[in-house]
Amino acid sequence: MSASSSRLRSIADQLPFPMDDTDAVDDAFHRWRGQDDADAERVVKLWVYCYVFRYFLMKASGDAFDQAAILDELITSTYEKVRDNHDSVRAPDQFSNWVGVICKNTFLNYVRRTRTAESIDREHGPTLTADDAHQPSAQLTSPREVLEEAIA
């Protein structure tokens, strides 16, 4: 077990219910928002941290990040998004689902931001070879003519 997963386990053990019990999370969120229950607030914040941590830890196990600092940055920024926007949750009974969507969107935005295109012009790029069965005629001089003949 890695140090990160051990840390997650020790934090999750402080929850009064299993981390996957979304009904209990949604109920705690409803109590916090509806009754200003301080204990429920603590439980919800703890669960959010554990959920976000686990979500990105699982993504990291699939080599989604090339640096450990990126994992910490994504966990922190996602937790802060949830913390700063929890008032916008319209359906308290869907809070746990809302947190999952925030995690997914944050991850997808990260992937889109860091995607790099491969160039065929760079050194050690893919080697393009012509089919031996088709050789362009020697009288073609421009690349356009070669391309048009290849398509024909």
125 or 87, higher pLDDT = 87
Rg of the chain in Å (alpha carbons) = 26
Kindly provide the b/e burial profile for residues 104-123, where b requires at least 16 CB atoms within 10 angstroms of the residue's own CB: eebbeebeeeeeeeeeeeee
Place of tokens 């996957």: 20
Whether residue 123 has pLDDT greater than 70? no
pLDDT at 116 over 90: no
CB 30 within 8 A of CB 92: yes
**Owner of token pair 């997808």:** 108
76-105, pLDDT tens digit by residue?
A: 999 999 999 999 999 999 999 999 999 999
